Amino acid sequence: MSGKTASLSAEPISAADGRSLESRAPTPWELRQIEAAPKSRNRIAADRATCALPLVLAAAVLAQYKLTPNLNDAATTDVYTCFILLLASAVLVKFVMSFFSKKTFEKLLEKAPLYTAAFLFFALYDYATIKTGILPLPYFPWPDRILNGIYEDRALLLDCIKNSLILLFSGYFAGAAIGLLTGLSAGLSRRVRYWVLPLIQILGPIPSTTWLPIILIVAASLFGGSVFLIALGVWYPVTMTSMQGVLNIPKANFEAARILGAGKARLLFRVALPAAMPNIFQGLTQGMSVACTALMVAEMMGVESGLGWYINWQRGWAEFAKMYGAVIVICVTFSVVNFLLSLVKRRVLRWQEGYWN
């Protein structure tokens, strides 16, 4: 191991801050490079071919779209072509960069099968709709029509995204704050836990969307009722994980803090909260999933604006292309929200080994 480390220090592997391995500890990625067995030329060539495969599939998608005749001479535009070219260009940039960066090469090699499957899906769906009609129209519009539907209603969709995010985060932050307060209190105090546990056992197994009919009757406004519905769904996982995170802290940590003169506030913010943070973020991640589900149900059933409302509205007018487009927008929007949450999680938990890179 010492010989490998010495040989690695002579290689051009350096951190973002420019420090050499001799003056710092190696990162997990660098340790993997040390322990990895050398690849043969055939293996390297196969890996390069795997990285190039998404580009080959992208070319096949464009060739099928342009050269294969459409069913009943259906009209198409260049929007779908631009979309595929944009995705292929992003892959091409990574492919070129992979020749100069080993990290980029490894990431592209890992993601290449997924990119290939995505382009293959586009090819198969286009073939099954506008080319052959295996999936009947108008219930399954072709990709070009869906993208044009998104573009035509872009202003309304942006407004719906804004309203959905306002509703989502209003309920999410309210439920997370109450759940965090409840979970930490129950974990630190046996008396609080005595009263909270029965409430968790009663409300926990019941999906928050079950209360929608009652909320529609009782709530003073649809927005307030929807916020309550989302907050209730977020409250349960955050409460449970926060409480378990505090209960799993060794008692010796609290005793040592008390010996050093820590009061209740310091025990909470200096001992309990940092130690329970991994569990808390697990609950926050689960709560976001529940919140997104509750948001769609609330918007489809009562709220008069948002992405869920837009889907229900377009379905009523048999505008299936725009309906599918809104589903895609929802997937992208929620993916971005979860990505941002994961960035916050990585930042806060950067002290954990799994978040070094």
Task: Please write the tens of the pLDDT for every residue from 41-53.
Answer: 788 888 899 999 9
Token pair of 350 as six digits: 């950067």
Its pTM stands at: 0.78
State the pLDDT at residue 97: 94
Token pair of 73 as six digits: 């001479």
Token pair of 279 as six digits: 């569990």
The amino acid at residue 96 is V
pLDDT one-digit tens code per residue, 143-180 = 999 999 999 999 999 999 999 999 999 999 999 999 99
* Peptide bond connecting 113 to the previous residue in cis, omega within 30 degrees of 0: no
Is the pLDDT reported for residue 227 higher than 70? yes
Rounded to an integer, what distance in angstroms lies between the CA atom of residue 296 and that of residue 62?
34
| Pick from 48-52, 53-57, 213-217: least confident | 213-217
The domain locations on the chain are 2-35, 41-152, 154-355
Does the 154-355 domain belong in CATH 1.10.3720.10?
yes
Q: What is the chain's alpha carbon radius of gyration, rounded to the nearest angstrom?
A: 26
Cα angle for residues 295, 297, 299 (degrees, 5° grid): 65
Rounded to an integer, what distance in angstroms lies between the CA atom of residue 189 and that of residue 58?
59
Is the pLDDT reported for residue 230 higher than 60? yes
**For residue 182, what are the CA distances in angstroms to 5, 178, 197, 207?**
49, 6, 10, 19
Decide: helix, strand or coil at residue 220: coil
Is the pLDDT reported for residue 291 higher than 80? yes
- Nearest Cα residue to 172 out of 357, 340, 350: 340
